[in-house]
Amino acid sequence: MPVNIKELSKKEDRLTGGHRLCAGCGASIAVRQILLAIDKPVVVANATGCLEVATTIYPYTAWKTPWIHSAFENAASTISGVEAAYQSLKRQGKITEDIAFLAFGGDGGTYDIGFQALSGAMERNHKILYICYDNEAYMNTGIQRSSATPPAAWTTTTPVGKVRAGKLGRKKDITASIAEQGAVYVAQASISNFRDLIEKVRKAVSMNGATFINVLSPCPRGWRTDTSETVNIARLAVETCFWPLYEVENGKWKINYIPRQKLPITEYLKPQGRFAHLFRPENVQLLEEIQKEVDAKWELLQKKAQLFQ
């Protein structure tokens, strides 16, 4: 069903304003879009992180949904337990209402600490939607690197100096990893394309099984960007194919957006202070290596999608 902007604008936000998330936070934009996409009642589990800490400072909450926080590493397990209890009550005839069960986690609580719980929830095929808001570092605790941090990025634990130029190694491709585990629906989305994100969320919550959506969520504080540029930077990630928009439904890969003119990766990196060192003469080779990796991954994704055309 096409996204009707007028209808969405009339809906009440399930994440209120007045929370303590930073100005320009990509996570809050993502959460608002995701919750607006769902028409049925929602239950939310939230891993420890920026989103959890800044929206539930006792005794206040920004959530207009049932909400539960347990620990950094087990949001997927928590929402699995809630969904299992719901299914039991439904079988007993004690509840008939159709409810969507969502978990939100940052890249630290998803790619790293929470990966085991997430993998287990996907394998058990609970009827849940797990959303990762990927801001590419442990932003809540001081901008430390995670396995989602891209190559050569500055963080407080991958500083730039004479020995090395930011993070060594690649960014983990968790979206493809979860897809290969056999989840019924997996997708990659961006706050810069809200229609695509909303459509993917609606599809995910309609599925009878475990689903996962990874949403790139720029962090002005950690990425060293202007707060007004959050959505534009997310758009540049898509236009350079650093963050392609695609989905995998029952094992079938599909690209949702192909740029008319694929931009060079430098267009995405330039506005971000965490990559400023890459534009020094001595780091030209690093830029070339990053471009080659982006191109190779984009080519591989296209080949996967072509298999199902």
Identify the CATH number of the domain in which residue 238 sits.
Answer: 3.40.50.970
170-225: pLDDT as tens digits? 999 999 999 999 999 999 999 999 999 999 999 999 999 999 999 999 999 999 99
Residue 63 sits at φ, ψ, to 5 deg, of -90, 130
Q: What is the pLDDT of residue 6?
A: 78
Give the separation between CA 202 and CA 236, rounded to whole angstroms. 25
Task: Look up the domain containing 293 and give its range.
Answer: 5-306
Q: What is the pLDDT of residue 1?
A: 61
Of 67, 74, 72, 80, give the one whose Cα is nearest residue 35.
Answer: 67
pTM over 0.85: yes
Of 212, 217, 216, give the one whose Cα is nearest residue 201.
Answer: 212
CB-neighbour burial class of residue 284 (10 A; exposed 0-12, middle 13-18, buried 19+):
exposed
39-90: pLDDT as tens digits? 999 999 999 999 999 999 999 999 999 999 989 999 999 999 999 999 999 9
Residues 6+ apart with CB under 8 A from 135: 26, 27, 50, 106, 107, 217, 218, 219, 222, 223
Q: What is the count of structural domains for the chain?
A: 1
Residue 117 sits at φ, ψ, to 5 deg, of -65, -40
Give the separation between CA 108 and CA 224, rounded to whole angstroms. 19
Task: Name the average pLDDT for the chain.
Answer: 96
| Strands, sheet with 252-255, edge to edge from the N-terminal-most edge strand | 67-68, 42-46, 100-106, 129-134, 211-216, 185-190, 246-249, 252-255
The answer to whether residues 250 and 184 touch, using CB atoms and an 8 Å cutoff, is yes
Q: What is the pLDDT of residue 8?
A: 81
228-242: pLDDT as tens digits? 999 999 999 999 999
- Binned at pLDDT 50, 70 and 90, residue 10 comes out as confident
- For CA atoms 114, 120, 122, 127, the dihedral sign is negative
Share of the chain above pLDDT 70, in %: 100
